[in-house]
């Protein structure tokens, strides 16, 4: 079913432009040409760059492999624990942890990607109410550069004070 749905979604691009249209969609989904990180997004790679210049020491295919391997490795503990103790709460916690790992370790993260982990965390608000405020405040801080570039400091202050 998944393969059929994927083919239906990609059919218009493949029909009009052939394999080039399909590859163009993939490069939009996976923006590898932009580099490992950009605009000082709060990711592992941006912090590591201060100590070890990954962008200059390794070529792009190696950077992609490093980011992919680290992302997958960081997701294994939560996924294994979910496999060992499956329940709805653990499923939502695992979604939060895996999506947060993708934000921290994946290749070329955008600032707005922090919203996905917060979505899963918000669903668990009754379970994690003591940590919710600080998590949202830290997530808002990671959006600060984007908010500043778009001149939305008032909205940032309202969100931060609201939590």
What's the 3-state SS for 8-48?
HHHHHHHHHHCHHHHHHHHHHHCCHHHCCCCCCCCCHHHHH
Domain housing 5: 1-31
Output 73 or 132, whichever has higher pLDDT: 73
The answer, yes or no, to whether residue 105 has pLDDT greater than 90, is: no
> How many percent of the chain have pLDDT more than 90?
20
| Residue 36 within any structural domain of the chain | no
Q: How do residues 117-149 score in pLDDT, each as one tens digit?
A: 888 888 988 888 888 888 888 887 777 777 888
Helices (H) and strands (E) counted in the chain, each on its own, are: 10, 0
From the CB of residue 53, how many other CB atoms can be counted at a distance below 10 Å? 10
Mean pLDDT of 26-38: 71
Query: What is the pLDDT, as a whole number, of residue 126?
Result: 83
Residue 76 has a pLDDT of 96
Do residue 21 and residue 85 come from a single domain? no
Domains in the chain, number: 2
pTM as predicted = 0.74
Mean pLDDT computed over 46-61: 84
| Same domain flag for 13 and 87 | no
pLDDT at residue 69, rounded to an integer = 94
Identify whether residues 92 and 26 lie together within a single domain: no
* Average pLDDT of the chain to the nearest whole number: 83
Same domain, 26 and 91: no
Q: What is the pLDDT of residue 162?
A: 61
Residue 54 has pLDDT above 80, yes or no: yes
Q: Kindly tell me if the per-residue pLDDT of 70 is higher than 90.
A: yes
Phi–psi pair at 54, nearest 5 degrees: -60, -40
Verify that 56 and 114 share a domain, yes or no.
yes
- Residue 8 located in a structural domain: yes
| pLDDT at residue 41 greater than cutoff 70 | no
Tell me, what's the pLDDT at 163? 54
Same domain, 25 and 77: no
Whether 37 is in a domain gets the answer no
Neighbours of 91 (CB within 10 A): 12
């Amino acid at each position: 079913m998944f393969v059929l749905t994927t083919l239906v979604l990609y059919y218009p691009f493949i029909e009009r432009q052939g394999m080039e249209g399909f590859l163009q969609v993939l490069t939009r989904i996976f923006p590898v040409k932009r580099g490992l990180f950009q605009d000082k997004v709060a990711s592992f790679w941006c912090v590591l760059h201060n100590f070890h210049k990954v962008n200059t020491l390794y070529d792009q295919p190696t950077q992609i492999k490093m980011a992919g391997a680290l992302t997958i490795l960081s997701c294994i503990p939560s996924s294994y624990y979910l496999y060992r103790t499956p329940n709805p709460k653990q499923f939502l916690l695992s979604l939060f942890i895996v999506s947060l790992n993708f934000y921290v370790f994946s290749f070329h993260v955008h600032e707005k990607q922090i919203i996905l982990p917060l979505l899963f965390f918000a669903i668990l608000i009754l379970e994690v109410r003591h940590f919710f405020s600080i998590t949202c405040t830290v997530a808002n801080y990671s959006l600060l550069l984007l908010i500043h570039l778009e001149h939305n400091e008032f909205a940032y202050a309202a969100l931060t004070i609201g939590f």
